[in-house]
Amino acid sequence: MRNLFISVVASVVAAWLTCNPARADEIAPAPTDSLRVGGYASADVRSHPGGPATAQLYGTSLFITWDAGSRLRLFSELELETPLTWTSGHSVTTKNADFDIERLYADYNFTDALIARGGRFLTPIGRWNVIHAAPLVWTTSRPAVTERLFPMAVNGAMLYGTVSTREGAFDYAVYGEALGDQTDERNEPNFEDTHGLRLAYTGSFEVGMTLSEFEEKTLGRARYRMVGLDFFKAMDGWEFSGEAYRRFKRGGEDHSGGGYLQAVAPLGNRWFAVGRVENLRLPDTGSEGRWLVGAAWRRNARQVLKLEYAGGRYEYPDATRGFAASYAILF
């Protein structure tokens, strides 16, 4: 298990379920009615300019949801990362395989405007971080600013909800970390002591704002405050989206930040053109740009084939330059 905090959450929830008898006017549903299992899987191939070609079963995630129709809901996402990898000139290997508890939390619904969550959950920063499952996004690689600049998950508590209006709805989320990860992620920056606020409006368009604070788990223990803006607009099969962030370092100068803009255009026969420009600025690398052009074929709402070519100055393990293709399925 990923860390002690997750074990404690699971134990508390199990005890609650055991010790909370059903009222006489409640009819307990059968276990098969309360428990749902799903997930997604994706595989990709990449060809780096002047470098090796790779193919991998990128990841398989299993969703387990318990919902008996009461105020309490339990959810977990268990992920097997890169179980199989092949590199040109080498044989297939499992050395990059890793098991991760991506999410494990309990929700208690007081009203639609007030829901309490405890456990491990995706940090509600921007849009991409909370909808990043491969079948739900248009590209094989995610924008670097959503993976290199802030913590992607939190072990802690959150209050969130939705307030409806005549023209749309306002969403909010207030969250804080209770215990940092006991193991660090491979090839990713690691943070702790995270807390923040997200506000969003959904109507004829979507726009959100994020305020957050966190500490980097490095020798210098740099602490950051970050502000972010994001938007999404869909019309006639077109989609426009983007996110922008600026980090401020406590007790020193820092010029970290960045963002992306992405456009999706319908081509017909379930094909879509995709284009994205990105920028990321970190203290040790300076400002670097990246661009991506590609196409996606959505066989249906649950399956998508993606083809893309990325260029620019920067790259990292999950977003290399060159050609990439992937197939993802939601089940």
User: Taking a C-beta distance cutoff of 8 angstroms, is the pair 55, 45 a contact?
Assistant: yes
Average pLDDT score over residue span 156-178:
95
Cα(196)–Cα(173) distance, integer angstroms:
8
What's the pLDDT at 113? 97
Task: Convert the pLDDT of each residue in 83-119 to its tens digit.
Answer: 999 998 888 999 889 899 999 999 999 999 999 999 9
Q: Which of 158, 70, 50, 58 is nearest to 114 (CA)?
A: 158
Residue 24 in this model has a pLDDT that exceeds 60: no
Question: pLDDT tens digit string along 131-149?
Answer: 999 999 999 999 999 998 9
b or e along 15-40 (b: 16 or more beta carbons within 10 Å of the residue's beta carbon)? Answer: eeeeeeeeeeeeeeeeeeebeeeebb
pLDDT one-digit tens code per residue, 39-66: 999 999 999 887 789 999 988 999 999 9
- Rounded to an integer, the average pLDDT of 174-191 is 78
In a 13 Å sphere around the CA of 152, the CA atoms on its Cβ side amount to: 20
Is 73 strand, coil or helix? Answer: strand
pLDDT recorded at residue 109 = 97
Give the residues across from 141 on adjacent strands.
none
The answer, yes or no, to whether residue 19 has pLDDT greater than 70, is: no
Residue 88, helix vs strand vs coil: coil
Q: What gap in Å lies between CA 24 and CA 301, rounded to an integer?
A: 41
Instruction: State pTM to two decimals.
Output: 0.86
Nearest to 111 by CA among 174, 168, 162, 169: 162
Q: Residue 31 carries which DSSP code?
A: H
pLDDT value for 226: 96
**How far is the C-alpha of 211 from the C-alpha of 191, rounded, in Å?**
16
C-alpha distances in angstroms, 108 versus 30, 112, 222? 20, 10, 34
74: tokens are 């339990």
The lowest-confidence range among 8-12, 278-282, 315-319 is 8-12
Q: Is the pLDDT of residue 21 over 50?
A: no
> Which one of 53-62, 116-125, 171-180 scores highest in mean pLDDT?
116-125
Q: What pLDDT does residue 250 have?
A: 84
290, 311 contact by CB (below 8 A): yes
DSSP3 helix / strand / coil % (the chain, rounded to 5): 10, 60, 30
Is the predicted pLDDT of residue 12 greater than 90, yes or no? Answer: no
What mean pLDDT value characterizes the chain? 87
- Cα distance between residue 195 and residue 214, in whole Å: 7
| pLDDT interval class at 316 (50, 70, 90) | confident
Name residues whose C-beta falls within 8 Å of residue 114's C-beta, 6 or more positions apart in sequence: 159, 161
Average pLDDT score over residue span 237-266: 92
Contact indicator for 271, 296 with CB cutoff of 8 Å: yes
pLDDT at 28: 43
pLDDT at 221: 80
**pLDDT band at 23, cuts 50/70/90?**
very low
| Coil vs helix vs strand at 203 | coil
